[in-house]
Amino acid sequence: MNSTCEDIKEFLWQNTSDLTSIPQTMGIFGVLYSIVISLGICGNTFVILSVLRHRSLQSVRNCFIVSLSCSDIVVCCVSGSITPITAFTKVWLFGPELCHLVPLIQGVSLCFSTLTLTEISIDRFILIVYPTKRPIQKQHALRMIVFNCAVAVSLSLPMVFKQKLVDYGNFCGQFCTEDWGSDQFGRSTYGTVLFFLQFVVPLSIIAFCYAMICIRLGKGMLLRRDSEGGSEHLSEQRRLALKRRLRTNRMLIAMVVAFVASWLPSVVFNFLRDYEWLPKVVQSQEYLYGVITHCISMTSTVWNPVLYAWLNEQFRLAFLDLFKVCGQARRSNGSAYRLRSESSRMNTRCARLTSGAFLDGASTDGQALMRTHGDSKTVEIKWEKNPGTQETVTSTLARNSLTVPDSCCVTARTSSL
């Protein structure tokens, strides 16, 4: 290395007043990244441990959520540390191998996350809009996760070959950068394809699925409101169901808003940079705006545990159980039991029954609602022939009279999706 080389940070500060070259900016973003990374790793780790610990949480949807949490942890460890360090030092400090691998890992994580979010919305869409259709099974979910990995690697693979470690003139150090040579058309085309496949297409599918879900839930609430006039007990049940569905609507809308708010700035910034369409004010502080948009996108690793897990009663109880295990191991079994009993008491479960023995002769070829009353000795089963209507048959039976055959004639799934 030339002993008279020039420090690129000094050069940028003198010529462009690059704000990422001063210690104050580094300190501010250092604190922000530390908070985001810590919350992202802790939140997603809690999600994974909760699902592994409690069988009641091991559903199809939570398979996707666990895979998404794993991807977010990788993003926190790799993109949340290496990217800001490189943005502030300007030189590459991690060797030629990581110069090729880090962009691949970042691209795979982003693409995998968007595909997984899309499949979660599709799973919810099938469950709520078409409840009589066969839902996605766990083995299908695992295949979809593997498919997501394959697609994400395929889309990100060009970065392995286009990312190079180079020297720039008389500047000190080496720089890891995209090198497309004179093929700027290829770079723009690749960036456009990624923009649509990683953002536009998934967002369109997510928006469509959640819009249809909101319409479906809205129709169900109108039907219930128009059919009011039953007993006071049933009116209270409907009021609670309405409140739960309104909360679900808010959560679904928050998911879309969080996804767009987190990734839109970074995706648009990279898209405009590929076409050299950045405004002059942004070009003059390209490093700064790059760090800002990247830091915003990193917050998606924090929002996901909040929106997909912490707003769910079962996950909240599972998190509390994990805290108790850390300090009071002897109470872990009791906490696990409370998780199951609270879930049964607070959530109306949607069950597909294959035996008519439990409904006093009512047909059992559709959906039913089953509610257990805490520690009482009875189980109330409400038959709902057409979800969203009031064509129901209610039966209250003694718990000890419910004998479930070995063939599992009752399969329950939580209705508060």
* DSSP-assigned letter for residue 26: H
Per-residue model confidence as pLDDT tens digits over 208-248? 988 888 888 777 666 655 555 544 555 677 677 666 666 76
Check pLDDT > 90 for residue 31: yes
- Give the pLDDT score at 226: 57
205 vs 344 pLDDT, higher one: 205
* DSSP-assigned letter for residue 182: T
Per-residue model confidence as pLDDT tens digits over 342-381? 544 444 333 333 333 333 333 333 334 444 444 444 444 4
Q: What is the average per-residue pLDDT within 394-414?
A: 38
Alpha-carbon distance of 54 to 337, in angstroms, equals 10
Check pLDDT > 60 for residue 311: yes
Percentage above 90 pLDDT, the chain: 34
Q: Where are the domains of the chain?
A: 8-311, 348-417
Check pLDDT > 50 for residue 407: no
What CATH class is the domain 8-311?
mainly alpha
pTM value > 0.75: no
Per-residue model confidence as pLDDT tens digits over 135-145? 888 899 999 99
Answer for the pair 270, 83: CB distance below 8 angstroms, yes or no. Answer: no
177 vs 405 pLDDT, higher one: 177
Strands 410-414 and 349-353, by their bridges, are: antiparallel
| Angle at alpha carbon of residue 306, lines to 304 and 308, rounded to 5° | 60
Per-residue model confidence as pLDDT tens digits over 38-91? 999 999 998 999 899 988 888 888 899 899 999 999 999 999 999 999 999 999
Which of 251, 249, 234 lies closest to 369, judged by CA? 234
- Give the pLDDT score at 367: 39
Answer for the pair 168, 8: CB distance below 8 angstroms, yes or no. Answer: yes
Which of 13, 91, 76 lies closest to 44, judged by CA? 76
Per-residue model confidence as pLDDT tens digits over 114-173? 898 898 889 888 887 888 888 888 899 999 999 999 999 999 999 999 999 999 888 999
- Give the pLDDT score at 328: 62
| Beta carbons within 10 angstroms of residue 205's beta carbon | 18
Alpha-carbon distance of 80 to 387, in angstroms, equals 45
- Give the pLDDT score at 369: 42
- Give the pLDDT score at 44: 92
Work out the pLDDT band at 333, boundaries 50, 70, 90. low
Answer for the pair 306, 223: CB distance below 8 angstroms, yes or no. Answer: no
Please report which helix (H) or strand (E) contains residue 349, including its range.
strand 349-353
Check pLDDT > 60 for residue 310: yes
